[in-house]
Every structure is written in C-alpha cells, then in structure tokens.
Amino acid sequence: MADIRTEIHEHFGEPCEFFPVVRHEVQTYERPNLQLALDEFVSEAKKSSLVGVIERDYDATLTRLVSQNAVTDFSKGPVEFLDCELGPDERLTCVKRGLYLVESADGDRSVILVGAAKDDYPPRILLEVMARSQKDAETVLRHLTRAVRLGKAYRGRVFSLGRDYHGAVHVKFHTLPEITRESIILPAVLLERIERHTISFSRHAARLRECGRHLKRGLLLHGSPGTGKTLTAMYLVSRMVDRTVIILTGEGMGSIEAACHLARMLEPATVILEDVDLIGTQRGYQTLNANALLFELLNQMDGLGEDCDVLFVLTTNRPDELEPALASRPGRIDQAFEVPLPDSDCRKRLLELYGKGLHVEMGDAESIVERLDGASAAFIRELLRKASLLAADDDDQVINVRQRHLEEALTELLVAGGRLTQTLLGAREGRVARGSNGE
C-alpha cells in the first residue's frame, strides 16, 4: 500500500513538492456548512477519494505531507469524523481530519486537507488546497468558501449560540412551540403595532426594498418581569415563516459577533436577545456591564448593510439601564414597546386562557379580577395551577376549580409565599389582592 506522500504524487501524476498551497481557516461552528460544500464539490467531480492522516511528531499540512520527511512523519489511517447536530432529529457526519484527492470533470486535479488549525484560540478548522497552479488552488478554495457562506446547514432553522470550554462558538437547534395569537394577551392596539413592525414588515420586505427603504431594524420589548415579553417574541418568530432565527440568552451573549455574522449570511433572519439588561452579569463577563456589550451589538448592527433583512428583537426588564447606549446610537433600535402588566380586560382573558382544560366555577369573577390588579401573566398562570392542585386534593375524580380554591391559592401565593414569591412571579408589590377592605 502506497504511503500518503506517494499517493498524493501519483494523484497529480508528477512530483508536487513545489505545487502551491492556499490556506483558509473556518470557524468551528461552520463545520456543517463546510461539509455540505465539500460533499457538493466531490459529487460534481469525475472521481475522488478520501483518506485519513495519522500525525506523529508534526501537525499535518499539505506542504509537510508531500515533503521528503512525510514517510516518517505521517501515515495513512482512518478518516476522523464528527457527528454534528442539524436539528432536533437530524445529524450530519462531518470530516474532522481527512485528505480529499479530487479530479474535476474537466480533468483538473487538486488535494484538499481538512484538519485543525493549531495554536488558535478559540479553535478553528484548517482548510488547505493544493493544485498545479496557484490560480487553480484559489479557484477550488473560493468555490468552497462561497458554498460555506450560503449557510445551507443553518438556513431557515431556529438555533441558539453558546461557547464551549475552549471558547469556541457552538450551535444548538430548537423546535419552537406552536403559539397562537389568542395566547398573546396584550391590549389589541399594542399587539397590532408590534405585528406591523415585524410580521407585516417581513411580508412586504421585497416591495419595501424596491422602494429604497432600509430593511435592517430593531425592536425593544420592555416591561415588568412575567408580562410575556419572551412569549411575544416567540409568537412573532412563529408567524414570520422562512426566516432563520438566532436566539441569544445567557452564555450566548458572548457570541454577538458570530450571531450577526450568521444573520447577515442567512438573511432574512431574526436575532432574539433575551434579558439584554442582564448580559453584563453573566459568568465570564463580570468585567463588562450591560452597556458595554450593548455597544458591541450596536457596532455589529452598524456593520450590516441597510438593505440587509435582519430583525433584532431585544427584551429587557430594565430599559433605563440600556437607554444611555441606545441614545448614543439613534436609529439602531427603531421602536420600543412597553409590555404592560395586564389591565382588567387582559386579566379576564388570562384567567380564561390558563383555565382551559379545567372546570372553573367562580361565584364572583369580578372580585378575583380586581384582586389581581398588579399581577403579571406569570402570576395568574401560577394561580390557576395552584388552584387546580387544591381542587385535585378535594376530588379524586374531577378537578373542579371553585372560588374558594382560587381564594386559597391567592392567599398561599401572597401570604405564605411572601414578597419573594410575588417578585419571582412578577407581581407588583402592594397592588395584588387589594380587595374592598384594602386587604
């Protein structure tokens, strides 16, 4: 069996120690896109083969693989693969380290090395191409990098970004729950305005671009905890089909640059940044405050073209902490909407929504609605859950939620749970459970 150096020389049909090599480094999160690009390139070739490379004392590069020392430094072996996620139920096997020997339909021959770029932090993928001429090698490399930029592996999907212990960005895919318009309990006028800035805008994007309108836009949803900002954002995403969705929250806030790069590549795209006021408190970023990372986001937004169809949706409980950064860059966030605590009508609708599937008997519904003044949607949801549990304890057969169960659940949340429970559920202190006697 020929050694790896001899196999490369035989592939070209002549000695190739001095053939040019062009090198490119690819982000590790782009591995699935690179693999799809390689698969497509190889499928169009006249013939190709894939061999593994075993390294001994030196890291493999094409220059070393064709040198006189290659016989002792490297040998043929199994191709190394990585099993990469492409969705909740979809995987793609990608080459981690391997050597492609390719002959195109036109008879042009090239060798492509896929490996790991050494001494890089965070790690990157090494991609090298050797051909008879520099022009031929560059042509192959540009073909591959253009295909990577198409982002076929990620286009139209929903995923979040994070970082591993090496500092490399990683992708996690998600399936969005089905969220109906009826489950978004907001004042009608407010919901219509939010939809106009997002859903309607997305529907008319092509026509607006033809008229010279810029498509890059930002939306800030702010309000007390538990009012439904994240649920509203997820509803908007579910209604804007055929858009790639990138979610940043928690550890992913350190991946703003990667998120904006992917959004530009995969437009039309939507970037969701949850609880953006907390990004300065994430572990690993204690030295940066929220405004510092928000400035990074605004800088990345500046790098996107005006006609780039990317929607940024930010949620926050503390808009006052973001205002200095946003005010210094007017126009980056085009619209801010307050998602308020539910009014009387919304509280009635929330009781109906979270009471679905239960048999609810309220002798005095208005008193419950009044006592819930200042309660968030999250608080009302927990109230119905706790009331249904109390009702289940009363009857082993049927769960009938009655007025007394709601009253007892409300007392348990407010009195037994104390101020901390109210805070955790987003209830405004001093307002919830205020009856006619002031209790």
- The DSSP letter of residue 38 is H
Q: In this structure, what CATH number is given to the domain that contains residue 322? A: 3.40.50.300
Does position 307 have pLDDT exceeding 60, yes or no?
yes
Where a domain ends, among 338, 360, 394? 338
Residues 277, 207 share a domain? yes
Say if 437 falls within a structural domain.
no
The reported pLDDT for the residue numbered 323 is 76
Pairing of strands 359-361, 400-402: parallel
Say if 196 falls within a structural domain.
yes
The reported pLDDT for the residue numbered 285 is 44
Residues 315, 353 share a domain? no
Mean pLDDT of all residues in 223-248: 93
Q: Which domain holds residue 114?
A: 4-150
Residues 349, 323 share a domain? no
Mean pLDDT of all residues in 317-325: 81
Mean pLDDT of all residues in 131-157: 96
H or E stretch covering 205 = helix 205-210
The band of 434, judged by pLDDT with boundaries at 50, 70 and 90, is very low
54-81 residue pLDDT tens: 988 788 999 999 988 777 778 899 999 9
Task: List the structure tokens of 222.
Answer: 């702010």
The reported pLDDT for the residue numbered 430 is 52
Residues 318, 184 share a domain? yes
Q: In this structure, what CATH number is given to the domain that contains residue 354? A: 1.10.8.60
The reported pLDDT for the residue numbered 59 is 86
Residues 304, 181 share a domain? yes
Mean pLDDT of all residues in 289-297: 70
CA atoms of 110 and 387, how far apart (whole Å): 70
The band of 436, judged by pLDDT with boundaries at 50, 70 and 90, is very low
Does position 331 have pLDDT exceeding 60, yes or no?
yes
Mean pLDDT of all residues in 128-138: 97
12-16, 112-116, 247-251: least confidently modelled range = 247-251
The band of 424, judged by pLDDT with boundaries at 50, 70 and 90, is low
The reported pLDDT for the residue numbered 431 is 57
Q: Which of 155-164, 203-212, 345-354, 362-371 has the highest mean pLDDT?
A: 345-354
The reported pLDDT for the residue numbered 359 is 87
Say if 161 falls within a structural domain.
no
Domain count, the chain: 3
Residues 207, 311 share a domain? yes
Does position 32 have pLDDT exceeding 90, yes or no?
yes
Residues 290, 204 share a domain? yes
DSSP line for 344-391: HHHHHHHHHHHTTTSEEE-TTHHHHHHHTTT--HHHHHHHHHHHHHHH
The reported pLDDT for the residue numbered 428 is 63
387-418 residue pLDDT tens: 999 999 988 778 889 999 999 998 888 876 66
Tell me the angle at which helices 256-265 and 290-302 cross, rounded to the nearest 10 degrees: 20
CA atoms of 380 and 322, how far apart (whole Å): 29
Q: Which of 205-209, 226-230, 331-335 has the highest mean pLDDT?
A: 226-230
Say if 166 falls within a structural domain.
no
Residues 279, 361 share a domain? no
Pairwise pLDDT comparison (140 vs 59), residue with the higher score: 140
Task: List the structure tokens of 25.
Answer: 């480094």
Residues 180, 315 share a domain? yes
Say if 164 falls within a structural domain.
no
Q: 0.95 cut: is pTM over it? A: no
Where a domain ends, among 338, 373, 405? 338
Q: Tell me the sheet residues that pair with 77.
A: 52
Q: Which residue has the tokens 């590790």?
A: 28
CA atoms of 57 and 38, how far apart (whole Å): 28
The reported pLDDT for the residue numbered 346 is 96
Does position 119 have pLDDT exceeding 80, yes or no?
no
Residues 410, 358 share a domain? yes
Residues 354, 302 share a domain? no
200-214, 304-318, 421-435: least confidently modelled range = 421-435
Mean pLDDT of all residues in 297-315: 85
CA atoms of 72 and 379, how far apart (whole Å): 69
Say if 158 falls within a structural domain.
no
Task: List the structure tokens of 267.
Answer: 């437009």
Q: Which of 69-73, 288-292, 384-388, 420-424 has the highest mean pLDDT?
A: 384-388
Question: What integer best gives the mean pLDDT of the chain?
Answer: 87
Residues 370, 329 share a domain? no
Task: List the structure tokens of 16.
Answer: 């190739």
